[in-house]
Amino acid sequence: MRAVKASAGHGRNGKREAALTDRSNDVSAMLDEMAIRRLLDEYCLRLEINQFEDWLDLFTHDTVYDVFRQSLRGREEVAAMLSQAPHGIHLPGATRIELGTDTAQTVQSYLFLSASEDTWNAGWYQRTVVRTGEGWKIAHTRVKIGRLGNLAPEEKARMLAFPVQFA
């Protein structure tokens, strides 16, 4: 969590100022963490519900995306490869956020169920997110796939159309 600086005041007023500074920093850190959690949630939802271009808006223009032993650089390379990936449901899991001033390091577990290939994979997203003029954005993603598999015949998914439409 972000380090909190206390006021250098002395006496009663100094202690009160230090307490107010601590609370102000705590609130700021909580707001940053909430915004980052929202960003990470949108990462999964925008792949399923929105257009692919909306998902790309979550990244910095010079983002780096490491997956399948490839390092994709910039939104264009990310779009060229990942727009061809199978559609499915991304289930985000537990998330750890180590918050700095204008950057944060995150680790998030996930489970992905493909809608068309009856396959799944699970692992972790390691990300660096940065504060920009447009809010928090993903600057670097490293996908660590921990397990791959095929669904059993009785568990095969019904075909879904993407992006998902709510009627």
- Residue 4 has a pLDDT of 39
* Tokens matching residue 80: 């060229």
More confident residue, 131 or 149: 131
pLDDT tens digits, one per residue of 67-94: 989 999 999 999 999 888 888 889 999 9
CB 123 within 8 A of CB 110: yes
Average pLDDT over residues 151-163: 64
Q: How are beta strands 59-67 and 135-150 bridged, if at all?
A: parallel
155-161 contacts at long range (C-beta below 8 A, 24 or more positions apart): 156/118, 157/88, 157/113, 157/114, 157/115, 157/118, 159/115, 159/116, 160/87, 160/115
Out of 9-13, 113-117, 127-131, which region has the weakest mean confidence (pLDDT)? Answer: 9-13
pLDDT tens digits, one per residue of 117-132: 788 899 999 999 999 9
- Residue 115 has a pLDDT of 82
Instruction: Please give the Cα distance from 115 to 126 (Å, whole number).
Output: 24
More confident residue, 59 or 165: 59
State the pLDDT confidence band at 166, using cuts at 50, 70 and 90. Answer: low
Collect all residues with Cβ–Cβ distance below 8 Å to 164 and sequence separation of at least 6.
48, 49
Average pLDDT over residues 136-153: 88
pLDDT of 37 higher than 50: yes
Instruction: Please give the Cα distance from 70 to 79 (Å, whole number).
Output: 14
pLDDT of 15 higher than 80: no
State the pLDDT confidence band at 38, using cuts at 50, 70 and 90. Answer: very high
pLDDT of 150 higher than 90: no
